[in-house]
Amino acid sequence: MSTKENLPQASNPLGIDGLEFVEYATSQPQAFGALLQKLGFAAVARHRSREVMLYRQGAMNLIVNAHEAAESAPTLSAFALRVRDAAYAHHHALELGAWEMPTRASAMELNIPGIHGVADTLIYFVDRYRDFSIYDVDFVPLAATDPRPPAIAGLHWFGVVQSILGDRTADWLDFYQNLFGFSVLPRGQYFGVLPKGTLLESPCHKFYLQLVEPPPGAEDVRWDEGLVRVGLGAADVPAAVKALQARGMVFVDRGTVQPSEKGALTQPYLGGVTFELVHSHLKP
Amino acid sequence: MNLDHFGMDTITLAGPLEAKLRAVRAAGFTQIMLSAQDIVGHPGGEAAAIAAVQKSGLRVTGFQVLRDFEGLDGHLHAYKVDVAKAMLEMCRALRSRILLVCSSASAHATGDTGRLVKDLQKLAMLAVPLDIRIAYEALSWGRHVHEYTQAWDIVQSAGRENLGLALDSFHMLANRTPLDTLQEIEPKKIFIVQLSDFLWQEVRSPEDRIETARHSRVFPGEGVHSEKVIELARQLDEMGYRGDYSFEVFNDDYRQLPLPVVAERARRSVKWITGRVARRSLPARRQA
């Protein structure tokens, strides 16, 4: 007998199914929006009551939250996991020792459950991503705008880079393995042009987290824990670089991080925000 | 092993927090173990207490103490989780890397090992984003966990990076726990060692142990079990333990003596210990 039920496997207790959106906080949403457009994102909807915009590119949703944003430099403030049952996922995480997120922090008026992630960031759980979207309630579509702008060069979410303090890798592995079922990729298995830290694969095999401790000799550098940047996957990185350069994006072209088949890194924009392209086998 | 590896504990001293910090610093110590009472009982409020600690220049050895956390059900568990969160937040604000957790003495707590493990895993998880390590200590009058060997079994089963042991010589001496199984513990999983002695040979009943532990401890070198304390410190040193030692000395007499007098006794105790334990610079003996 076969069943079509989407039951989570033991190694994926929450039924994680990719990233639903990432969220940035910034007090200069216009400038950041212009940058996102160069990167291939298009504004598709505006929040009903707050200074929050939804950008989209292919299957990627990106929220820019200027509501009560303190910092001008855009900072990655949250990511949302697609899960089978958001209420269950939330309850499960709290039972295992996650911290409930502060209620006022959410960009959404819909009650999207979430927990504290690293530093001041949040991790949301979203289960309405198939027939009904979470954006239908809180956002008003922009008029005369394609609600589903296609991706440039097949770009898709590849992962999120998280900085951590020295000797904290094992702590954060405990966090992501036990709460969500992430697994560690063998040492030496890296993607992109920044091969360092520890790479974790989501239990759904649809995205990665990269944990990066301060490099040796960085004792004098101010190094905080937090979400650093997102990685965008591309089947053909040079083609994606070319397409984005044509739109005005500038990539670091010196040293070890110059664009290659493996990946590319944009220059820092607006006080420090960067984006990474990564050669990806993942499907857009 | 030198003075920098030892800290005093505010519970030994009388008076306001600032006076304790000054006395400990003046005696040459570089670190101090803090209690929640130091912070919440400060007349200027929590923020003033935290500012005083930071201004003192002393490193915070650890923050104590979360009691009766593990093994509870339903609303009792939820209540303790709330208490734990508040303690963790204070611990973080004080820049303490360690929260001390005593094994439960609660009559409401289960002794089911699986449950104890699960609860401590949850506590460790709560501590991860705050960069805090949970040091689990077997109280000699703990209801289900009263020997360090039991605490170690639970820590091992939990298998969390930021969950380790607090060893307290008092509880080991009071229960006459043999030290031979100490060698089975990974040194890196011992997060803090608390040293003290006491003045009588035996403390047989749990009531005796509680009474002595809370009122009549003395510094190592001042009691009748001090050679055993040295044996403990020596073994730990040889195993490769390189963490902190803190004087967990609850003593009613010391709380009515001038602070510099008590701090000087603590300093003398450090000298007494370090003179008897092999120097830290010597390589640790390899364990088979």
Q: What is the pLDDT of residues B126-160, one digit of tens each?
A: 999 999 999 999 999 999 999 999 999 999 999 99
Is the CB of B122 less than 8 angstroms away from the CB of A116? no
Q: Please indicate, yes or no, whether residues A200 and A272 belong to a single structural domain of this protein.
A: yes
Is the CB of B125 less than 8 angstroms away from the CB of A96? yes
Q: What is the pLDDT of residues B19-70, one digit of tens each?
A: 999 999 999 999 999 999 999 999 999 999 999 999 999 999 999 999 999 9
Q: Please indicate, yes or no, whether residues A32 and A76 belong to a single structural domain of this protein.
A: yes
The reply to whether A63 falls in a domain is yes
The torsion angles phi and psi of B43, rounded to 5 degrees, stand at -60, -25
Is residue A111 scored above 80 in pLDDT?
no
Neighbours of B227 (CB within 10 A): 12
**What per-residue confidence (pLDDT) applies to A107?**
57
Classified as helix, coil or strand, B46 is helix
The reply to whether A284 falls in a domain is no
Q: What is the pLDDT of residues B184-224, one digit of tens each?
A: 999 999 999 999 999 988 888 888 889 888 999 999 999 99
Q: Which residue from A39, A61, A36 is spatially nearest to A244, judged by alpha carbons?
A: A39
Query: What is the length of chain A?
Result: 284
* Distance, CA of B281 to chain centre: 24
Q: Please indicate, yes or no, whether residues A168 and A131 belong to a single structural domain of this protein.
A: no
Q: Which residue from B58, B57, B83 is spatially nearest to B69, judged by alpha carbons?
A: B83
The reply to whether A83 falls in a domain is yes
CA gyration radius for chain B?
18
Q: Please indicate, yes or no, whether residues A60 and A106 belong to a single structural domain of this protein.
A: yes
The reply to whether A192 falls in a domain is yes
Q: What is the pLDDT of residues A34-87, one digit of tens each?
A: 999 999 999 999 998 889 999 999 999 999 999 888 888 999 999 999 999 999
pLDDT-based confidence at residue A1 (cuts at 50, 70, 90): very low
Q: Ranked by mean pLDDT, which of A107-116, A190-199, A255-264 comes out on top?
A: A255-264
Question: What is d(CA A108, CA A116) in angstroms, rounded to the nearest whole number?
Answer: 16
Q: Please indicate, yes or no, whether residues A159 and A201 belong to a single structural domain of this protein.
A: yes
Question: How far is CA B12 from each of CA A177, A185, A204, B15, B229, rounded to the nearest angstrom?
Answer: 41, 49, 54, 10, 18
Average pLDDT, chain A: 90
Q: Give residue limits of the domains in chain B.
A: 3-276
Q: Which residue from A60, A78, A105 is spatially nearest to A24, judged by alpha carbons?
A: A78
**What per-residue confidence (pLDDT) applies to A39?**
98
Q: Does B73 touch chain A (CB under 8 A)?
A: no
DSSP secondary structure code for residue B135 in this structure: E
More confident residue, A237 or A134: A237
* Distance, CA of A180 to chain centre: 15
pTM, whole model, 2 decimals? 0.93
Angle at which helices B226-239 and B259-276 cross, to 10°: 60
Q: Please indicate, yes or no, whether residues A129 and A187 belong to a single structural domain of this protein.
A: no
Q: What is the pLDDT of residues B59-116, one digit of tens each?
A: 999 999 999 999 999 999 999 999 999 999 999 999 999 999 999 999 999 999 999 9
Question: What is d(CA A29, CA A53) in angstroms, rounded to the nearest whole number?
Answer: 8
Residues 2-41 of A with CB under 8 A from B: none
Domain count across chain A: 2
Q: Which residue of A has its CA nearest to B130?
A: A119
Torsion (CA) B120, B242, B87, B53 in degrees, nearest 10: 180
Mean pLDDT of A275-284: 87
Q: Please indicate, yes or no, whether residues A178 and A229 belong to a single structural domain of this protein.
A: yes
Asked if A14 contacts A84 with a C-beta cutoff of 8 angstroms, the reply is yes
Is the CB of B129 less than 8 angstroms away from the CB of A119? yes
Q: Please indicate, yes or no, whether residues A130 and A191 belong to a single structural domain of this protein.
A: no
Q: Please indicate, yes or no, whether residues A86 and A186 belong to a single structural domain of this protein.
A: no
Q: Please indicate, yes or no, whether residues A211 and A271 belong to a single structural domain of this protein.
A: yes
Give the end of a domain, one of A141, A175, A192. A141
Give the end of a domain, one of A116, A141, A166. A141
Classified as helix, coil or strand, A53 is strand
Q: Tell me the ipTM for this assembly.
A: 0.92
Q: Ranked by mean pLDDT, which of A1-10, B169-178, B198-207, B241-250 comes out on top?
A: B241-250
**Chain B residues with CB-CB distance to A99 below 8 A:** 85, 126, 129
Q: Please indicate, yes or no, whether residues A221 and A121 belong to a single structural domain of this protein.
A: no
Pick from A96, A116, A178: CB nearest B129: A116
Q: Which residue from A237, A98, A250 is spatially nearest to A180, judged by alpha carbons?
A: A98
Q: Does B125 touch chain A (CB under 8 A)?
A: yes
Classified as helix, coil or strand, B284 is coil
Strand order in the sheet with A198-201: A183-184, A198-201, A208-212, A156-163, A226-234, A275-279, A263-265
Token code pair at residue B148: 């360090």
Is residue A231 scored above 50 in pLDDT?
yes
CATH dotted code for B3-276 = 3.20.20.150
Q: What is the pLDDT of residues A183-225, one digit of tens each?
A: 999 876 777 777 789 999 999 999 999 999 998 877 777 889 9
The reply to whether A13 falls in a domain is no
Q: Which residue of B has its CA nearest to A122?
A: B129
Is the CB of B128 less than 8 angstroms away from the CB of A171? yes
Is residue A104 scored above 70 in pLDDT?
no
Q: Does A207 touch chain B (CB under 8 A)?
A: no
The reply to whether A93 falls in a domain is yes
Question: What is d(CA A6, CA A246) in angstroms, rounded to the nearest whole number?
Answer: 42
Token code pair at residue B247: 């004087």
Give the end of a domain, one of A117, A141, A165. A141
Q: Please indicate, yes or no, whether residues A177 and A275 belong to a single structural domain of this protein.
A: yes
Give the percent of chain A with pLDDT over 70. 93
The torsion angles phi and psi of A168, rounded to 5 degrees, stand at -110, 0
DSSP secondary structure code for residue B252 in this structure: T
The reply to whether A118 falls in a domain is yes
The reply to whether A258 falls in a domain is yes
Across chain B, the runs of DSSP E, i.e. the strands, are: 6-9, 31-35, 59-66, 98-102, 133-137, 163-168, 190-195, 197-198, 217-218, 245-247
DSSP secondary structure code for residue B145 in this structure: -
Q: Which residue of A has its CA nearest to B126?
A: A97
Question: What is d(CA B221, CA A205) in angstroms, rounded to the nearest whole number?
Answer: 59
Asked if A209 contacts A159 with a C-beta cutoff of 8 angstroms, the reply is yes
Domain region containing A272: 152-279
The CATH number of the domain holding residue A241 is: 3.10.180.10
Alpha carbon of A138: minimum distance to chain B alpha carbons (Å): 30
**What per-residue confidence (pLDDT) applies to B206?**
86
**What per-residue confidence (pLDDT) applies to A80?**
96
* Distance, CA of B29 to chain centre: 17
